[in-house]
């Protein structure tokens, strides 16, 4: 048996502990991702631990759990879907309406306005899951993490 294994496990446990310590803590001691930096820290920690290829499934499972948590947190979600849909329909109507008017200048202006409105909808109504959660639990944070 190699003497490197216990040292590697200790290193992996330290990486995991540092990643968890970087997260925000709520008043009920739940750890939460509330910043893009925290998300990056747990993603990197999971990959670093798994890259060690330890034969210890417990630490590998912990690393996979970090990775799954990061993946779920990084997923993009639509918020206020009715408003987003309404504004998207409005953008399409503006674009189609001005294009159908027959005037090139009006069609270009309508296309630009329609595109601008669609960009606004995406920027305003689509967010990463961690950000949505962070906004909801902000009043409950007792320690903000890194």
| pLDDT for 102 | 76
CA–CA gap between residue 37 and residue 18 (Å, rounded): 13
Cα gap 81→72, rounded to integer Å: 20
CB distance 110 to 99 below 8 Å? yes
Average confidence (pLDDT) per 10 residues, the chain, 146 residues: 67 97 97 98 98 95 97 96 96 90 87 94 96 96 95
pLDDT value at residue 6: 61
* pLDDT score of 100: 87
Backbone Cα Rg of the chain = 23
Region of residue 41 (left: phi > 0; alpha: psi -120 to 50; beta: else): alpha
Domain boundaries, the chain: 4-77+129-143, 81-126
pLDDT of residue 101: 80
Which pLDDT score, from 0 to 100, does residue 1 have?
47
Distance CA 65, CA 42 (A): 10
Q: What's the confidence (pLDDT) of residue 5?
A: 53
């Amino acid at each position: 048996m190699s003497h490197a294994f216990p040292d590697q496990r200790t290193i992996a446990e330290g990486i995991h502990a540092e990643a968890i310590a970087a997260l925000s803590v709520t008043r009920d001691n739940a750890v939460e991702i509330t910043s893009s930096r925290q998300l990056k820290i747990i993603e990197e920690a999971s990959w670093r631990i798994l890259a060690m290829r330890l034969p210890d499934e417990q630490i590998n499972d912990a690393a996979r759990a970090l990775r799954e948590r990061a993946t779920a947190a990084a997923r993009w979600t639509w918020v206020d879907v009715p408003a987003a849909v309404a504004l998207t329909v409005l953008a399409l109507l503006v674009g189609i309406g001005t294009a159908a008017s027959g005037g090139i200048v009006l069609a270009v202006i309508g296309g630009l306005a329609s595109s601008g409105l669609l960009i606004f909808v995406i920027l305003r109504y689509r967010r990463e899951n961690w950000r949505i959660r962070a906004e909801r639990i902000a009043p409950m944070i007792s320690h903000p993490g890194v």
